[in-house]
């Protein structure tokens, strides 16, 4: 190429920013081959720093950004030198091009960044990116995993300022027999929500939904992080509570209000179904009184219409339905306690409700008795909500976004890939990725 042609080619392909200049080009099937060499000649030995003596040249092939929609390969011609220092351990070395690519890498640095930007900004699939670069799926995925984890876990401020955590389980696949557990533990930073500075941030996902999985994640974090965490919000799973109590002894655990109310709703439904069988001998059918109020029972009292209230009162008037009425009363009391704008009054209402149903209930209230025993064991975490007002709502919102992501992708089979895509999707990494 002439100097003018080479300058135009360098400008179009932006090879100048890599520190190389184009010396030739060719087309082979679907690939565009670009021959280039370093702009600057550096003969310094990487070990002793002494200038070396030119020995020969070698070629290093790197995948670069697509040119006009076609996959591109750079064939970089590198000088190789012999070290002139007899005492140096290095005998032969080639010129380093760390600005172009990392040592032993097969792609340029900008190509690796481009892969992550396409995943995050354009929501491209790994398969589409692999086709654009004419690389294998595993190669592209490994690059994305590595770079995303560098952005997340190697970033010095990744865990700075984290004081409130949310923990929940998440089912990432619905097909068994693929090696990895079906569930993962989702760890979310709730601090921005509590401080009013932004949305919740996905910190990490850990394979499995056990106390050991969460404990291991906490133990891998430094002591300053563990001391800084003040509150951990979670569902009713005892394993998460055990892990938080062991790894974060100074932090306060909070049982999420949704899960408390949901547990009560489940017991109310089971009670209704049992009474339905005892009184009519079959499952609920259209026209059955208890079947007709199945949704009304789970609705907050002050949201019911007059017609719904009358229907509910008529169905519960029968003596045989007294157990349902008592369980429904407890269910509504729990909701009222959480809805009380006065924290102290709400906490007192909740404590009285838990105390009334913990023991000594009449026979026939089996479901309410089970609920009382379960909630009384976790009373400290339940009552802690009224002091902190921290819930797992933002965590459930991120779980919903992950469900949407999995649906768009028609499912995932590789857990590492799923974790990376989840971090990109909900880890608040957009600014860092855009800065690449």
pLDDT digits (tens, 9 = 90+) for 294-313: 999 999 999 999 999 999 99
Output the pLDDT for position 116. 86
Rounded to whole angstroms, how far apart are CA atoms 1 and 25? 9
- The lowest-confidence range among 160-169, 328-337, 374-383, 416-425 is 416-425
- The lowest-confidence range among 83-87, 165-169, 395-399 is 83-87
pLDDT digits (tens, 9 = 90+) for 86-127: 888 888 888 888 888 888 888 998 998 899 888 888 878 888
Output the pLDDT for position 345. 96
The CATH architecture that domain 164-255+414-434 belongs to is 2-Layer Sandwich (3.30)
Output the pLDDT for position 164. 96
Mean pLDDT of 42-69: 88
Mean pLDDT of 29-56: 87
pLDDT digits (tens, 9 = 90+) for 120-153: 888 788 888 999 999 998 899 888 888 887 877 7
Please answer whether residues 255 and 378 qualify as being in contact, where contact means their C-beta atoms are separated by less than 8 angstroms: yes
Output the pLDDT for position 85. 85
Output the pLDDT for position 406. 80
pLDDT digits (tens, 9 = 90+) for 326-384: 999 999 999 999 999 999 999 999 999 999 999 889 999 999 999 999 999 999 999 99
Mean pLDDT of 260-269: 96
On the 0-12 / 13-18 / 19+ scale of CB atoms within 10 A, 12 is exposed
Helix H or strand E segment including 28? strand 20-28
Output the pLDDT for position 43. 86
Rounded to whole angstroms, how far apart are CA atoms 98 and 112? 14
Q: What percentage of residues in the chain have a pLDDT greater than 70?
A: 95
Please answer whether residues 33 and 75 qualify as being in contact, where contact means their C-beta atoms are separated by less than 8 angstroms: yes
Rounded to whole angstroms, how far apart are CA atoms 283 and 285? 6
Q: Is the pLDDT of residue 1 over 70?
A: no
Q: Is the pLDDT of residue 2 over 60?
A: no
Q: Is the pLDDT of residue 431 over 80?
A: no
Q: Is the pLDDT of residue 26 over 60?
A: yes
pLDDT classification of 434: cutoffs 50, 70, 90:
low
Mean pLDDT of 181-197: 91
Mean pLDDT of 268-280: 95
List the end-to-end C-alpha distance of the chain, in Å, as a whole number: 32
Specify the higher pLDDT residue, 285 or 69.
Answer: 285
Output the pLDDT for position 177. 58
Please answer whether residues 98 and 88 qualify as being in contact, where contact means their C-beta atoms are separated by less than 8 angstroms: no
Q: Is the pLDDT of residue 429 over 80?
A: no
Q: Is the pLDDT of residue 272 over 60?
A: yes
Output the pLDDT for position 180. 63
Output the pLDDT for position 178. 57
Can you name the residues that pair with 20 across neighbouring β-strands? 38
292 CB neighbour count, 10 Å cutoff: 16
Q: Tell me the HSE value of 364 on the side-chain side, using a 13 A CA sphere.
A: 11
Output the pLDDT for position 417. 80
Angle at the Cα of 365 from the Cα atoms of 360 and 368, rounded to 5 degrees? 85
Q: Is the pLDDT of residue 179 over 60?
A: no
Phi-psi region for residue 23, left (φ > 0), alpha (ψ -120 to 50) or beta? alpha
């Amino acid at each position: 190429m002439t100097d003018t042609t080479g300058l135009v080619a360098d400008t179009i392909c932006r090879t100048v920013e890599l520190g190389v200049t184009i010396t030739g080009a060719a087309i082979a099937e679907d690939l565009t081959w670009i021959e280039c060499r370093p702009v600057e000649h550096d003969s310094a030995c990487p070990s002793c720093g002494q200038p070396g003596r030119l020995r020969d040249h070698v070629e290093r092939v790197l995948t670069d950004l697509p040119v006009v929609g076609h996959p591109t390969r750079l064939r970089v011609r590198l000088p190789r030198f012999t070290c002139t220092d007899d005492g140096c351990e290095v005998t032969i070395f080639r010129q380093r091009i760390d600005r172009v690519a990392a040592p032993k890498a097969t792609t340029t640095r900008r190509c690796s960044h481009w892969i992550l930007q396409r995943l995050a900004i354009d929501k491209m699939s790994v398969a589409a990116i692999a086709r654009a670069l004419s690389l294998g799926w595993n190669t592209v995925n490994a690059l994305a995993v590595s770079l995303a984890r560098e952005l997340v876990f190697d970033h010095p401020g990744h865990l700075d300022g984290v004081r409130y955590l949310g923990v929940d389980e998440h089912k990432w696949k619905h097909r068994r027999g693929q090696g990895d557990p079906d569930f993962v533990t989702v760890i979310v930073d709730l601090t921005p929500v509590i401080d009013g500075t932004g949305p919740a941030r996905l910190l990490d996902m850990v394979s499995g939904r056990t106390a050991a999985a969460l404990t291991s994640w906490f133990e891998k974090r430094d002591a300053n992080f563990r001391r800084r965490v003040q509150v951990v919000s979670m569902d009713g799973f005892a394993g998460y509570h055990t892990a938080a109590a062991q790894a974060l002894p100074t932090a306060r655990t909070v049982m999420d209000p949704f899960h408390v109310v949901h547990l009560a709703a489940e017991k109310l439904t089971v009670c209704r179904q049992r009474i339905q069988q005892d009184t009519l001998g079959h499952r609920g059918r259209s026209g059955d009184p208890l079947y007709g109020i199945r949704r009304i029972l789970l609705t907050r009292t002050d949201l019911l219409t007059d017609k719904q209230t009358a229907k509910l009162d008529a169905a519960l008037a029968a003596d045989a339905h007294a157990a349902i009425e008592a369980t429904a009363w407890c269910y509504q009391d729990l909701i009222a306690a959480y809805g009380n704008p006065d924290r102290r009054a709400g906490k007192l209402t909740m404590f009285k409700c838990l105390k009334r149903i913990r023991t000594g209930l009449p026979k026939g209230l089996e479901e309410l008795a089970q609920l009382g025993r379960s909630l009384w064991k976790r009373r400290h975490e339940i009552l802690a909500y009224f002091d902190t007002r921290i819930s797992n709502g933002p965590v459930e919102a991120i779980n919903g976004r992950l469900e949407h992501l999995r649906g768009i992708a028609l499912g995932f089979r590789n857990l590492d890939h799923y974790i990376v895509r989840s971090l990109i999707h909900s880890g608040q990494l957009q600014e860092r990725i855009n800065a690449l």
